[in-house]
Structure 1
Amino acid sequence: MRLVFAGTPAVAIPTLQALARTHEIAAVVTRPDAPLGRKRVLTPSPVAQAADELGIPVIKAARLDDEATAAITTLDAQLGVIVAYGGLVREPLLSAPAHGWINLHFSLLPRWRGAAPVQRALIAGDAELGVSVFQLVPALDAGDVFAMQAVEIPADATADTALDILAHDGAAVTAEVVDSIATGSAIATPQAGEPTAAAKLSLDDGLLDWSEPLERVYARFRGVTPEPGAHTSIDGARLKILDAGRPTDGAASPAPGEIVAIKGALLIGTATAPLEVRRVQPAGKGAMNAADWWRGLREQQNVRAGS
């Protein structure tokens, strides 16, 4: 089929590449170049760069307004495919392709409709993650589902790792759906179950609460890493926690927020077992080994996380 593809971040690239192998992609729609790095150099989105490598024309649009709608409509695409574009598709663009638009969403719908499904699922401690491909409708992530697949995620995977796995599995699922739409064999069914919302994360979502059990603290760390980032406060200053995990030695049991160093491992107490903190970034400084950071503070008395 003749397709138009909309996506922006790297997680959309596997689907773009999979579809380009078997279908004609008339154009790729992506967000405009954004300033990156310390020098704030305007840089094309990952999807724009991938499209350029594939020789596919690119339409850059901050939102799908009248101008973007006109440009996309003239492509005469039979189907639109969207993966993490970062904007809403509204009428009349929604109905412009003969088969409308389908969306690859990184959740088991209707659970976690919204901008941050993987992050919210990890924070909530969901035992199962997955992908859904559904028909785009005006209501947020509410369309009928063509395919849904649970995906096994490593128990210690952070959000970036989980998204990478889901992106590759989701690409294969999306390609199968597009093939079935092309042959006329696709069947979509209404979503079943109680919807939950996956709102975009804020900096506050990364604050770790040491009064909670380890499983909840660690689940939040996984869900907010690398963005917006896990953090705590030390004497009123923010400390970013870049790498953490469950300790292998269960002997120590510090109080919630208490920081101890044992055999080269830095532990912070929770309501149950401690979290092992491996790499941190103090305010105004670079990333460093957590034990090295702690050695610089150990002469201070009563230093606690969350203080």
Structure 2
Amino acid sequence: MRIVFAGSPEAAVPSLEALAAVHDVALVVTRAASPQGRRRVLTPTPVAAAAERLGLPVLEANRLDADATERIVATGAALGVVVAYGGLVREPLLSAPEHGWINLHFSLLPAYRGAAPVQRALVAGEHETGVSVFRLVPELDAGPIVRMEASPVPPLATAGDLLAQLAASGAGVLVEAVDAIADGTAVFVEQVGEPSFAPKLALADGLLRLDEPAPAVLSRFRGVTPEPGAHVLLAGERVKVLGLSRSAADPLPAGTARLVGRDAVLGTASSPLALGQVQPAGGRPMAAADWLRGRGGEVVLDA
């Protein structure tokens, strides 16, 4: 089947590679190159880099305006495929391909509609997630589903880990969906159940709430790692938390970080957690034990 693929981040690359191996990808649409890193080097999206490697034509567009629509329609593609593109497909483009547009979403719809389904599911402490392939409609992530696959959430997975896992498994599910549409056997089923929503996370979402029990603190850490990143506040300054795990240490007051032997331990509303690496404001990543040692072995974090 002749398709147009729209995607931008690393999580979309497995789907592009899988589709390009078995279908005719007429055009890859991705967001424009942007400044990255401390030196702000202009860098193409991971999907743009993958498309170049695969020898596929690329359209860089941060929104699907009239010019982008004209370019896409001119390909004559019968189907549009979206995986984390980062922009909306609206009419008249939505109805332009013969078979419309489908989207690979990293949740079991209608749960966690929106931009951050993996992160929000982990913050909420979910034990099961998965992927859904659905037809795009004007309402956000509300279209009928053609393929869905559930999978358990690994106990220690961060959002980065889980997204990579779902990106890999979801690529195969997406190819199955496109194959079914191509051979006329696809069956779309309306979503069932009360939807929940997963808006994009802000920097403030990464603040660890140490007045919550340890499982909730650890769930938030996993959900916001690596982006937007977990942190605590000390004297109003942000200290990034790069490693956090369960601890067998004796309980500490919530919000207290203390050096216990050679280990850095963080108090919560229930059991303590072990601090791995931290990054103080303006500093480099370092062992949390070394950070505490330089502060007398104990700090009381901002409430």
Name the TM-score, length of structure 1 as normaliser: 0.97
Q: How much has 1:168 moved relative to structure 2?
A: 0.4
Any unmatched runs of 5+ in structure 1? none
**Is 1:223 matched with 2:219?**
no
Residues 141-180 of structure 1 mapped to structure 2, 5 A cutoff: 141-180=141-180
Question: Partners in 1 of 2:244 and 2:62 — Cα distance?
Answer: 36
Matched letter for residue 303 of structure 1: V
Q: Is the 8 A contact 1:9 1:47 kept in 2?
A: yes
Structure 1 residue 153, shift from structure 2 partner: 2.8
- Cα distance in structure 2, aligned partners of 1:27 and 1:112: 29
Q: For 1:234 and 1:203, locate their aligned partners in 2 and report how far apart those are by CA, in whole Å.
A: 16
> Which residue in 1 is equivalent to 2:281?
283
Which residue in 1 is equivalent to 2:299? 303
Q: Say yes or no: does 1:270 pair with 2:268.
A: yes
Q: 2: CA distance between counterparts of 1:257 and 1:161?
A: 27
1:186 aligns with 2:186: yes
Cα distance in structure 2, aligned partners of 1:23 and 1:120: 33
- In the alignment, does 2:118 pair up with 1:118? yes
Query: d(CA) in 2 for partners of 1:37 and 1:128?
Result: 34
Q: Secondary structure at the match of 1:114?
A: coil
| SS of residue paired to 2:300 | coil
Residue 72 (structure 1) aligns with: 72
Equivalent-residue separation in structure 2 for 1:251 and 1:161 (angstroms) = 27
Report the alpha carbon displacement of residue 152 of structure 1 after superposing the two structures with TM.
Answer: 2.5
For 2:259 and 2:193, the matched residues in 1 are separated by: 46
Q: CA deviation at 1:39?
A: 1.7
Q: Which amino acid aligns with 2:301?
A: A
Give the structure 2 partner of residue 91 of structure 1.
Answer: 91
Once the two structures are superposed, residues 24-47 of structure 1 have per-residue CA deviations (whole angstroms, 9 ceiling, x without a partner) of 000100000111122211111100
Deviations 1:65-89, CA, capped at 9 Å, x for gaps: 0110000000000101000000000
Identity %: 56
Secondary structure of 2:103's partner? strand
SS at match of 2:161: helix
Q: Is the 8 A contact 2:126 2:153 kept in 1?
A: no
Shift of 1:8: 0.2
The separation in 2 between residues aligned to 1:125 and 1:279, in whole angstroms, is: 23
State the AA in 1 paired with 2:19.
L
**More off after superposition, 117-126 vs 236-245:** 236-245
The number of residues matched between the two structures is: 303
Deviation at 1:127, TM superposition (A): 1.2
Paired with 2:133 and 2:301, the residues of 1 have a C-alpha distance of: 42
Segments of 4+ moved more than 2 angstroms: none
CA distance in 2, matches of 1:236, 1:51: 44
- Report deviation, 1:246: 1.0
For residues 204-219 of structure 1, the aligned pairs below 5 Å read 204-219=204-219
2:50 counterpart of 1:54? no
Unaligned 5+ segments in structure 2 are none
Contact 1:151 1:169 in 2 (8 A): no
Counterpart of 1:304, as a letter, is V
Partner of 2:42: 42
CA distance in 2, matches of 1:141, 1:169: 20
Distance 1:289 1:251, change over 3 A: closer
Equivalent residue letter for 2:267? G
Conserved 8 A contact 1:123-1:223: yes
Distance in 2 (CA, whole Å) between partners of 1:148 and 1:51 is 26
Residue identity in the other structure for 1:208: L
Task: In structure 2, give the amino acid aligned to 1:245.
Answer: S
Contact 2:239–2:279 under 8 Å retained in 1? yes
Q: What is the Cα deviation at residue 262 of structure 1?
A: 2.1
Q: CA deviation at 1:260?
A: 1.8
- Pairing 1:24-35 to 2, within 5 Å after superposition: 24-35=24-35
SS at match of 2:243: strand
What is the alpha-carbon distance in structure 2 between the residues aligned to residue 274 and residue 226 of structure 1? 22
SS at match of 2:301: coil
Secondary structure of the 2:167 match is helix
